[in-house]
Chain A
Amino acid sequence: MKEKFWRWLDGSREYLEDASDMDETPYREREEVKTQIRERNDSLDKRRGTRAVIRAEEKGFRLLYSWVAVISAIFLIGVLLYVVSYLPRYGQENPQTTLVARRYLEDGVRETGAINAVAGMILDYRAFDTLGESHVLFTALVCVMILLEKDRKNMRRGYEDYYRITGEGFYTPNRDGIMQAAGFVLLPSILLFGIYILLNGQNGPGGGFSGGTVLGSGLIIFTMAFGFDTVDRIASRRLLKGVTVVALGFYSFAKGYVFFTGANGLESHIPKGTPGAILSGGLILPLDIAVGLVVACTMFGFYSLFRRGSIGGKGKACSGKKAGTGAGTKAEGKDNA
């Protein structure tokens, strides 16, 4: 890989020469399907006169729509700007809103053990809200899975062609040399930076969401550089599923315990630690790690679903290429049962 890269730097080798002999048949097939559909629809248009009907239907609607849209847009922006002009001046303290913030800032370090007031707020005072956020992400991932995953139901409706055509390595170059060289240099620092952000949420800017996003982007770059086959060995479907469920379950359990003891005036026996140390802030650090893992899995899951319609190497999904990599795929499980 490195040798290839140096030869590309010397100019003795055209780097994209691998790409030029890429198989273009799927693309041509897709274009053919598109032209067929277009022609069929045009002929139907002519026979049924749909276009004229729609045009007549739309004439009134379009006019009404554009007027209503213009008026509502101007009205909305006008009202909002009017309200903004009566807001407290930018950069001034607004006395009415500082009561809660003052409590967070004055007692936050003592009560949560985190010197980052925002982390103390979102993962201690308002941790229920953050649990909801993690579940929003999880639900979004489930929705995208329902819509895009290559399962039997989605394959049945005549979409096999699209899954085949938009499959791995066609639209995005797989194992591209430039990506590999960049990934080789960048990946360690990206992953290290992600872990740093993840672990320092209670002591400085950062935390679960930002750290998890960086880790997820590291995984995505890794996938772009070294292909799904390599990634599936590390991040298999079972691993991603397990990590997400365990992290969300741990979060719910831990926070449920803390809320239960707090509401009943009991001692929760969770040490706060010295403010400023890595191991401080009571539950904030473990919760940050849980949130970060959920976010990283979700980001990678989105990318994987959009690019090949499955998460973490479901054997069937990779068109049988690497049936064994995704340890414990659903299909295998069913066969064994």
Chain B
Amino acid sequence: MIGNLLANYEEAVAIILFGIGFTMVLFQRNLIRKLIGMNIMDTGVFLFLASMGYIRGRKAPIILDPSLPAESYINPVPAGLVLTGIVVSVSVTAIMLSLCVRLYRRYHTLEIDDIYRLSKHQMEDR
């Protein structure tokens, strides 16, 4: 397994990045740090997809010379998938950040422990 992982080092690094992001999302108590973790997860996924499409010794899929066979280019499909992923990641990040802004306006903090405590007060005030 280790030998295979070393051969697939780029995918393995992508998975480790994904894991770092996942752990950050689970363990950080600050919402902004959770968001950064989510973005690191996204980066891991993009790296994984990009490395899946790479074929050693081939060129980018820009067909300047139509006489070359299809075997001289890398796989163009993962590039399109990464594009979709980036757009979705940007959108999700923007929505999350605006939710953070709203939470900060209400509770003046982004630590989820404090937000939980303050929300308890507000529930009792009602």
A-to-B contact residues, CB < 8 Å: 33-34, 37-38, 41, 44-45, 48, 50-51, 53-54, 66, 69, 72-73, 76-77, 80-82, 84-87, 89-93, 97-98, 100-102, 104-106, 108-109, 115-118, 121-122, 126, 129, 133, 136-137, 139-141, 143-144, 147-148, 159, 162, 203-205, 209, 275-276, 302, 305-306
Name 8 interchain pairs, CB-CB below 8 A, sorted by A. Answer: A73-B22, A77-B15, A90-B9, A93-B71, A115-B62, A121-B80, A133-B88, A302-B94
Is B51 at the interface (CB under 8 A from chain A)?
yes
- In residues 34-83 of chain B, which contact A (Cβ within 8 Å)? 51-52, 54-56, 60-64, 66, 70-71, 73, 75-77, 79-80, 83
The majority secondary structure among interface residues of chain B is helix
**Which B residues lie within 8 Å of A275 (CB)?**
66
Given A85-B4, A115-B62, A137-B87 contact (CB < 8 Å): yes
Which residue in A41, A53, A92, A117 is a CB contact (below 8 Å) of B63?
A117
Q: Is the CB of A105 within 8 A of B61?
A: yes
Q: Is the CB of B63 within 8 A of A90?
A: no
B-to-A contact residues, CB < 8 Å: 1-2, 4-5, 7-12, 15-16, 18-19, 22-23, 26-27, 51-52, 54-56, 60-64, 66, 70-71, 73, 75-77, 79-80, 83-84, 86-88, 90-92, 94-95, 97-99, 101-102, 105, 108, 116-118, 120-121, 124
**Which A residues lie within 8 Å of B63 (CB)?**
105, 108-109, 115-117
